[in-house]
Chain A
Amino acid sequence: DIQMTQSPPSLSASVGDRVTITCRASQNVGKYLAWFQQKPGKAPKALIYVSSTLQSGVPSRFTGTRVGTDFTLTISSLQPDDFATYYCQQYHSYPLTFGGGTKVEIE
């Protein structure tokens, strides 16, 4: 199985900060990496697919990049609505696997 190692597990930031979350795949997943946002008690919300393509309706402050098996989600200017937990997921092959999540909290 492909392991997805996400870091950091949590971070504290302020509104307006630039935030970066990383995800490393244990083997090649090509471009097939997605990012999700989840708020407490809610279903996950799709943000990015094929490493860098924004899901329709997602603000442009969210950016995804890929270098080999390393993936990054960047929020350029953190907004109050962005405080949540973020997950990466590879969909290169079954079993689909998620990272452990990154909780973005208010500093």
Chain B
Amino acid sequence: EGQLSASGGGLVHPGDSLRLSCAASGLTLRDYSMTWVRQAPGKALEWVSSISSGGTNKYYADSVKGRFTVSRDNARNTVYLQMNSLRVEDAGEYFCAKRGPSCNGDSCYSDHWGQGTLVTVSS
């Protein structure tokens, strides 16, 4: 099975922007919808965004809608999460995950997760 690798995290100030990337090796991402999930330190997992395999359909948590944009470049086998107007509450580990063998319409289970990238938002 291939690997997913998230990158692009870092330390930023409130109001700043970051772009996270999720690159795949040994795995063809164009075949799968993809999902971003985050986890604040010591807290539970929180779904952030999902994108369909072709990139047409995009879904966002209310907490990030209008500030975050998910996209993908299937030629580069990479998915992105553009995060603008970052807030302190956006801090945490961000994971990317690929669609698994079960969906209900566009809502899918994620069977394979990459290691996360840490986003720190502090003034």
Contact = CB atoms under 8 A, between A and B. Distances in A.
A72 B95 CA distance: 25
A103 to B, nearest CB: 11
A43 B115 contact: yes
A97 B47 contact: yes
Interface residues of A, number: 27
A66 interface: no
Q: A49, A50, A96, A101 — which one has the most chain B CB atoms within 10 A of its CB? A: A96
A98 B46 contact: yes
Interface string B78-112: 00000000000000000101001111111111111
Interface residues of B, number: 29
Given A43-B113, A96-B35, A32 B107 contact: yes
Given A87-B45, A97-B47, A92 B111 contact: no
A36 interface: yes
Interface string B29-55: 000000101000000111100100000
Given A99-B44, A100-B44, A93 B107 contact: yes
Nearest to A36: B45
Given A98-B44, A98-B46, A45 B113 contact: yes
B4 to A, nearest CB: 9
Interface of A: 30, 32, 34, 36, 38, 42-46, 49-50, 53, 55, 87, 89, 91-101
A94 B95 contact: no
Nearest to B105: A93
A94 B50 CA distance: 9
Given A45-B113, A91-B109, A32 B102 contact: yes
Q: A44, A45, A101 — which one has the most chain B CB atoms within 10 A of its CB? A: A44
